[in-house]
Amino acid sequence: MPSKKVVNPRSVPHAPQGSGQWDVVIVPFPFSTQPGHKRRPALVLSKRAFNQHGATVLAMITTAGHYPWPGDVRLTDMPAAGLKAPCLVRVKLFTLDNRLIVKKIGRLGGADQQQVSAQLQTFLPW
């Protein structure tokens, strides 16, 4: 049964200082249908200069077996990303207080970075 504990930022160990763009980190994701959370991987999209101000912009990482979502990017270099199962980056973005980032587990490989960047440009052209 999933944990129903509410996350208190003061109770989570501090993340490695200065997560950088393309780092893969572990964060507490809330359940959508019940109270509580589960630790899941997420992709850092914002640059270190932004992240040093206390918050980080992230994208969801989910297992590859889930239903398709616009902008999904199937990851090809799982070992570099620190992931054990086939996963994809999903263009579901959020900003999170840095105190909630549990740890860094890897970094996207160059080809995966290019694919995610291309999808972001498609859906969020800036």
Question: pLDDT digit string (tens) for 45-74?
Answer: 999 999 999 999 999 999 877 788 899 999
Question: pLDDT digit string (tens) for 72-92?
Answer: 999 999 999 999 999 999 999
19 neighbors 62 (Cβ within 8 angstroms): no
Alpha-carbon distance of 96 to 84, in angstroms, equals 24
- Rounded to two decimals, the pTM is 0.83
Pairing mode, strands 37-44 and 55-63: antiparallel
pLDDT at 73: 96
- Alpha-carbon radius of gyration of the chain: 14
CATH architecture of residue range(s) 9-123: Roll (2.30)
Structure tokens at 66: 């889930």
Three-class SS of 71-112: CCEECCCHHHHCCCCCEEEEEEEEEEEHHHCCEEEEECCHHH
68 neighbors 100 (Cβ within 8 angstroms): no
What backbone torsions phi and psi does residue 55 show, to the nearest 5 degrees? Answer: -145, 160
Q: How does residue 36 score in pLDDT terms, banded at 50, 70 and 90?
A: confident
Structure tokens at 35: 């109270």
Domain coordinates in residue numbering, the chain: 9-123
pLDDT at 121: 94
Q: Between these two residues, 92 and 3, which has the higher pLDDT value? A: 92
pLDDT at 125: 78
What average pLDDT does the structure give for the chain?
Answer: 86
pLDDT at 17: 58
